[in-house]
Amino acid sequence: MSESRIVRDPVCGMPLELDKVRFKAEFGGKVYYFCSEYCKRRFFERPKIAYFSMEIGIKSEIPTYSGGLGVLAGDTIRSSADLRIPMIAVTLVSRKGYLKQRIMEDGEQLEYPDEWDPSEYIICLPQMVEVPIEGRRVKVRAWLYEYQSVTGGVVPILFLDTDVDGNSPEDRCITDYLYGGDERYRLKQEIVLGIGGVRMLEALNIKVAKYHMNEGHSSLLTLELLRKNGMNQDEVKNLCIFTTHTPVEAAFDKFPYKLIQEVLGEDFLPLETLKKYGGQEWLNMTLLALNLSKYTNGVTKAHMEYSRKLFPGHHIMAITNGVHSYTWTSPFFRKLFDKYIPGWANEPELLVRVGVIPDDELWEAHMKAKKHLLEFVHERVEVTMDSEILTIGFARRATAYKRATLIFSDLNRLREVNRTGKIQMIFAGKAHPKDIPGKMIIKDIYKYAKMLKDEIRIVYLENYSMDMAAKLTSGVDVWLNTPLPPLEASGTSGMKAAHNGVLNFSVLDGWWVEGCIEGVTGWAIGPHPDEIVSGDERRRRELRDLYNKLEYLIIPTFYERRDKWIDMMSNAIGKVAYYFNSHRMMQRYATEAYLL
CA nearest neighbour of 75 among 94, 86, 59: 59
Tell me the one-letter amino acid at 405: T
Least separation in angstroms between residue 430's CB and ligand PLP is 8
- x/- letters, 33..72, toward ligand PLP (CB under 6 A): ----------------------------------xx--x-
Q: Which of 8, 84, 396, 403 binds ligand PLP (CB under 6 A)?
A: 396
Contact flag: residue 332 with ligand PLP (CB under 6 A) = no
Least separation in angstroms between residue 562's CB and ligand PLP is 27
Measured between alpha carbons, how far is residue 223 from residues 77, 349, 413, 575 in Å? 25, 39, 55, 42
CA nearest neighbour of 77 among 53, 46, 43, 96: 53
Q: Which of 50, 350, 466, 508 binds ligand PLP (CB under 6 A)?
A: 466
Q: Determine the 3-state secondary structure of 304 from DSSP.
A: helix
Contact flag: residue 508 with ligand PLP (CB under 6 A) = no
Please say which residue, 175 or 327, places its beta carbon nearer to ligand PLP.
327
Least separation in angstroms between residue 186's CB and ligand PLP is 21
Please say which residue, 54 or 239, places its beta carbon nearer to ligand PLP.
54
Least separation in angstroms between residue 479's CB and ligand PLP is 9
Residue 61 CB burial class (10 angstroms; 0-12, 13-18, ≥19): exposed
Least separation in angstroms between residue 402's CB and ligand PLP is 7
CA nearest neighbour of 574 among 332, 353, 357: 353
Run of H or E including 188: helix 183-190
Please say which residue, 162 or 463, places its beta carbon nearer to ligand PLP.
463
Contact flag: residue 492 with ligand PLP (CB under 6 A) = yes
CA nearest neighbour of 472 among 397, 369, 574, 560: 369
- The single-letter DSSP state of residue 502 is P
Q: What is the DSSP string of 348-370?
A: GGGGGGGGGS-HHHHHHHHHHHH
Contact flag: residue 373 with ligand PLP (CB under 6 A) = no
- How far is residue 554's CA from residue 480's CA, in Å, rounded to a whole number? 12
Number of residues located near ligand PLP, criterion CB under 6 A? 12
Q: Which of the stretches 33-41, 279-287, 442-450, 459-467 binds ligand PLP when contact is defined by CB under 6 A?
A: 459-467
Please say which residue, 74 or 180, places its beta carbon nearer to ligand PLP.
74
Please say which residue, 106 or 467, places its beta carbon nearer to ligand PLP.
467
Q: Which of the stretches 31-39, 112-120, 208-216, 465-473 binds ligand PLP when contact is defined by CB under 6 A?
A: 465-473
Q: What is the DSSP string of 377-407?
A: HHHHH-----TTSEEEEEES---GGG-TTGG
Q: Determine the 3-state secondary structure of 110 from DSSP.
A: strand
- How far is residue 214's CA from residue 530's CA, in Å, rounded to a whole number? 28
Q: Is the bond into 342 cis (omega within 30 degrees of 0)? A: no
Q: Which of the stretches 151-159, 206-214, 460-468, 513-521 binds ligand PLP when contact is defined by CB under 6 A?
A: 460-468
Least separation in angstroms between residue 296's CB and ligand PLP is 21
Least separation in angstroms between residue 196's CB and ligand PLP is 26
Q: Which of 374, 469, 478, 513 binds ligand PLP (CB under 6 A)?
A: 469
Least separation in angstroms between residue 496's CB and ligand PLP is 6
Q: What are phi and psi of 321, to 5 degrees?
A: -60, 165
Contact flag: residue 493 with ligand PLP (CB under 6 A) = yes
CA nearest neighbour of 68 among 98, 38, 88, 96: 98
Please say which residue, 222 or 492, places its beta carbon nearer to ligand PLP.
492
CA nearest neighbour of 464 among 99, 73, 148, 8: 99
- How far is residue 266's CA from residue 179's CA, in Å, rounded to a whole number? 26
Q: Which of 465, 500, 557, 582 binds ligand PLP (CB under 6 A)?
A: 465
Binding site for ligand PLP (CB under 6 A): 67-68, 71, 396, 464-466, 469, 491-493, 496
